Amino acid sequence: MPENEPWEYTLYIPNDVRAVTVARRTLRLILTLHGLIRLTDTAELLAAELVSNAVRHTKGPAALRVRWSAGVLRIGAWDADPEPPEPPGELGVLGKEGRGLALVRACADLWGWQPLARHGNRGKYVWCELAAA
């Protein structure tokens, strides 16, 4: 598949801390197979933070979605909690807790979140983007 053609993958994960490792390794494989190895290290960090938040701060299942379109990689995590994520703080001021979204904000080109409702289920989708250029 040429690098400029869009694609998307979704990995559904249980509420289990091991899901973070599964998500990171799956993302690395996806990016390697699509010839985007140059984005892998940053993408893995971002995905790990998003999935970790989804697993640690909610009680239900979660999902990792990875999409490539028009030279932009979008990484997102869905979880079953409709509450907005805590706003990111400043990296230099934070302790061990609360640095996840600050890392996302610092490393991604763009990030955000949106509430989701589908088939009677509510939740949120927290995403970030990396441009290939």
pLDDT at 94: 44
| Helical (H) or strand (E) element with 126 | strand 121-131
Rounded average pLDDT over 94-103: 68
**Residue 100 pLDDT greater than 90, yes or no:** no
Mean pLDDT of 18-23: 95
**Over the stretch 47-94, which tens digit does the pLDDT of each residue have?**
999 999 999 888 888 999 999 999 999 999 999 988 888 877 665 544
Mean pLDDT calculated for residue range 23-42 = 97
- pTM of the full structure: 0.87
pLDDT at 127 over 50: yes
- Structural Rg of the chain based on CA atoms: 14
What is the Cα–Cα distance from 129 to 120, expressed in whole angstroms? 28
What is the model's pLDDT at position 3? 60
- Helix, strand, or coil (residue 102): helix
The one-letter code for the residue type at 69 is S
pLDDT digits (tens, 9 = 90+) for 55-68: 988 888 899 999 99
